[in-house]
Structure 1
Amino acid sequence: MPLIAETCVARHTGDRKEQQDRVALFAHPTETGTLLAVLADGMGGHSGGAMAAEQVTIKAKQNFEAFQPAHETGRHLLQSIVDEAHVVIKLTRFTSEQDPHSTAVVFLMQPGKAAWAHCGDSRLYHFRGREPCFRTQDHSLVGEMLRKGRLDEAGALNHPQRNVLLSCLGSEREPRVEYGETDTLMAGDSFLLCSDGLWSYFSDDELGLVVDNHRPREAAQLLIDLARSRAGGYGDNISLALIKLSDPKSSPRPAFIG
């Protein structure tokens, strides 16, 4: 049965002087029911991070528009976006004075299935109703400490080195990229892509509750407002993309039909 996807993308500069996050959502030019969401959190001094994040979104748009599902897999598309963005960001180091790097989360939805790739500490969440089904694991020092049992979730949120990344695009070392997929999409599923400027202030359960109880635009505004309040004047850039799936019979105002 076809599902309806209602979507929203949003950003806020937070308490920073410059917005270095980038986020975008694209519908495929010819393939019905196929969309791509991409989010990148840039790093690298004044304008350097913005440049790196912009390269991720540009490469995502270019490769997605050329994507032919009959001849290539979703995994191949995702890998090409991340790998090529990494190379482009590295090359910009030779033509500028900045040292650009970026995280990346790329989410591909096709009829009946979804796939994603991520590098760094920007996240993708999959909720079914309000219940968390899946969350990407951060490629960060704190994330590694969590996986090894040296730190709990509460300690991770306040750890002084929580922003230290172990992998990102544009570094000399080859990036660590992880992939995931599901072929079981159903009404009530939601996918949230977000930078650490958002997720740092919420538990998984809190995010699931807000996403489930509100339409995407309302959920995005509420999450940003809460993150800004909890940051206490020290908030990072915020970016998010939200995709909510529903039954066509119960959705009054569809944003995307797939």
Structure 2
Amino acid sequence: MKFAIASESRVGGREHNEDRHGAIWSAQSLLLVVADGMGGREYGEVAAQIAVDVFLENFRRSAHPQLLRPAAFLQRVMAEAHEAILAQALQNRLHEVPSTTLVAGLVQDGKLYVVHAGDSRLYLLQGDRLRYRTRDHSQVQRLIESGQLSEKDAQTYPGRNHIYNCLGAMIDPEIEVSEPIPLQGNETLLLCSDGLWGPLLDEEITRIFHGREPQLVLPALMNVVEKRAGAGRDNLTGIAVTLLGEDDVVGSRDGYVDSLYVSRAGFDQLPLPHGLRPALR
């Protein structure tokens, strides 16, 4: 696989950043994860970090260099992350179990697999169109689907952050794994917390990535969101990946990867060391 990748997380207008994210790849598989610790709960950032760590560690154990059953892997690891959060709460005798949303995307064999709980999102963009977007597990999403609320009006709806599904709740999460999505080449994936997508319409996200490098777009997009959201803005986190064609040449610039050139350990992950990838001829 050849791809350009960028990631960034900002605290926004909050005291602490409860978002966490990770990206890891082998020679033949790529895993991307974003988790948003629940605001107003104890140790939301702990829940988010546990969930991301569980995903990355399971990938290291299982991708050699491929996962045998990608969809089953995502289903199993999501449940394991939930149990790990509950175990941490029990071990530390927390008054309230910390919780987090999570979205993960796995690219392997020309297909995209997605799992999520809550309202952290994955977008699959091709050219100037939106091919796929996760469905939020939120009350606002239900109102939109029933025709009672428009996407634009949802941006200012009072209960727009109320979700009914997450990791770390006292009831087991609804683990939603997508059907495998065939990739067509030269597509962009964006995984993000609601602090990033909240002030934007889907069409804005689709348009801004069209024909542009994720390393340039993601910081600019975050600047726009911070300005639009104002002083009370949420934490905002995103991972953007453009999947390059097989004939594209990967240069030595930061953020460009040819997965055939992974480290001796068999894996690489963000952040990329400077000059990690040599230019290919």
TM-score between the two structures when normalised by the length of structure 2 = 0.84
Q: How does 1:205-224 map to 2 (within 5 A)?
A: 205-224=203-222
Instruction: Calculate percent identity across the aligned residue pairs.
Output: 30
Where does residue 73 of structure 2 map in the other structure?
A: 77
- How has the CA–CA distance of structure 1 residues 256 and 203 changed in structure 2, closer, same or farther, with 3 Å as cutoff? farther
Indicate if the aligned counterparts of 1:39 and 1:195 stay in contact, CA closer than 8 A: yes
TM (norm. structure 1) is 0.91
> Matches of residues 138-177 of structure 1 in structure 2 within 5 Å?
138-177=136-175
- 2:214/2:240 contact within 8 Å kept: yes
Tell me: CA distance 1:6–1:197, structure 2 relative to 1, closer, same or farther (3 Å): same
Deviation at 1:199, TM superposition (A): 0.4
The equivalent residue for 1:53 is 48
Match of 2:270 in 1: none
Please list the CA deviations of residues 199-247 of structure 1 after superposition, one character each: whole Å capped at 9, or x if unmatched: 0111111111212232111111011000001011111000111111122
Between the aligned partners of 2:42 and 2:224, the Cα distance in structure 1 is 27
Counterpart of 2:230 (choices 225, 229, 232) is 232
* Aligned positions of 1:18-29 closer than 5 A: 18-28=16-26
1:43 matched to 2:60: no
Q: Is the 8 A contact 2:9 2:237 kept in 1?
A: yes
- Quote the offset at 1:251 in angstroms: 4.6
Give the C-alpha shift of residue 33 in structure 1. Answer: 2.5
Match of 1:255 in 2: 257
Q: Deviations over 1:76-102 (max 9, x none)?
A: 110122101111112223223443000
The 8 Å contact of residues 14 and 233 in structure 2, kept in 1 or not, is answered as yes
User: In the aligned structure 2, how far is the partner of 1:117 from the partner of 1:142?
Assistant: 20
Distance (Å, rounded) in 2 between the aligned partners of 1:7 and 1:130: 19
Q: Which 4+ stretches in 1 moved above 3 angstroms?
A: 44-47, 68-72, 248-252
Identify unmatched segments of 5+ residues in structure 2: 261-281
Query: Which stretches in structure 1 are left out of the alignment for 5+ residues?
Result: none
Report SS of the residue matched to 2:178: strand
